[in-house]
A and B are shown apart, each in its own frame.
Chain A
Amino acid sequence: NAGVTQTPKFRILKIGQSMTLQCAQDMNHNYMYWYRQDPGMGLKLIYYSVGAGITDKGEVPNGYNVSRSTTEDFPLRLELAAPSQTSVYFCASRETGNYGYTFGSGTRLTVV
Chain B
Amino acid sequence: ELKVEQNPLFLSMQEGKNYTIYCNYSTTSDRLYWYRQDPGKSLESLFVLLSNGAVKQEGRLMASLDTKARLSTLHITAAVHDLSATYFCAVEINNDMRFGAGTRLTVKP
Contacts and interface: CB of A to CB of B under 8 A. Distances in A.
A103 B42 contact: yes
B25 interface: no
Interface string A16-52: 0000000000000001010000001111110010100
Given A90-B43, A99-B50, A58 B96 contact: yes
Contacts of B90: 42-43
B73 to A, nearest CB: 17
A50 B96 CA distance: 12
A105 B41 CA distance: 7
B29 to A, nearest CB: 12
Interface in B2-56: 4, 31, 33, 41-43, 45, 48, 50
Contact of A101 (B45, B96, B98): B45
Q: In this complex, which of A56, A101, A104, A106 has the most chain B Cβ atoms within 10 angstroms of its Cβ?
A: A101
Contacts of A31: 95
Interface string A49-92: 01000001011000000000000000000000000000000100
Given A90-B42, A101-B45, A105-B42, A59 B98 contact: yes
Contact of B97 (A45, A50, A104, A106): A45
Interface residues of A, number: 21
Contact of B45 (A43, A100, A104): A100
Contacts of B95: 31, 33, 48, 50, 56
Contacts of A45: 96-98
Interface in B79-102: 88, 90, 95-102
The 6 closest A-B pairs by CB, nearest first: A42-B99, A99-B48, A103-B42, A103-B43, A43-B99, A105-B42
10 contacts: A33-B97, A41-B102, A43-B97, A43-B99, A44-B99, A45-B96, A59-B96, A99-B33, A103-B42, A105-B42
